[in-house]
Amino acid sequence: MPFGGGRVIQCVAFAKQDAGIVLPGNARDWWANAAGVYQRGARPEPGSVLAFAANGRMPLGHVAVVSAVVDSRTISIDQAHWNSRGVTRDIEVKDVSEENDWSAVRVQLAHAGSFGSIYPTRGFIYARPDNGRIIEASARTPMPAMDEPPADLRIGTRRHHSAIAIEVAEVPHPSRGLDLSLNGIGNDAPDRAFQ
């Protein structure tokens, strides 16, 4: 099914066609539904699907296809329905997790060079049969050793809960002087208003 012609393509339909991974449910269900079917892990690979967790801004979650691994903290993705009716390709994603495990990321706003809010992710789903193990990021990967989290992307609010620090995406207080325009924070989540 070609993309275009004014049709809105959802991220799930795009990922199914682009990565060849076919799972039931919304994007938020893909990580759990992949168990026993496709291998899953914390290491990005070209062609794998990055599964975003559902949250307040993305109640249905989101999935995107990894187009390239740049380094241990940076990948490029192809995706559909992230603040647009269509497909966006080669969008940069930064891992901002403390452990370099891709559990928290920031997505580039179009090709503008700035990044949006911090989003929680489940990990990567690979287009190969599940062998019963989750693949962990390891030193055996062809990627360079773990880099420090990008300092310019670590802006955010920390919340502490049971001794675990979690990055939380929040709408900043207007007095802090942050850009809340359509070119700022409003552009960094799937727009579920498109029908």
Domain of residue 170, CATH code: 3.90.1720.10
Whether 116 maps to a domain, the answer reads yes
Whether 87 maps to a domain, the answer reads yes
Predicted confidence band of residue 133 (pLDDT cuts 50, 70, 90): low
Predicted confidence band of residue 131 (pLDDT cuts 50, 70, 90): confident
End-to-end CA distance of the chain: 18
Collapse the DSSP code of 164 into the 3-class scheme (helix H, G, I; strand E, B; otherwise coil) and give the result.
strand
Say how many domains are in the chain: 1
Whether 4 maps to a domain, the answer reads no
Whether 3 maps to a domain, the answer reads no
Percent of the chain with pLDDT over 70: 63
pTM of structure: 0.69
Which structural domain, as residue segments, surrounds residue 161? 11-187
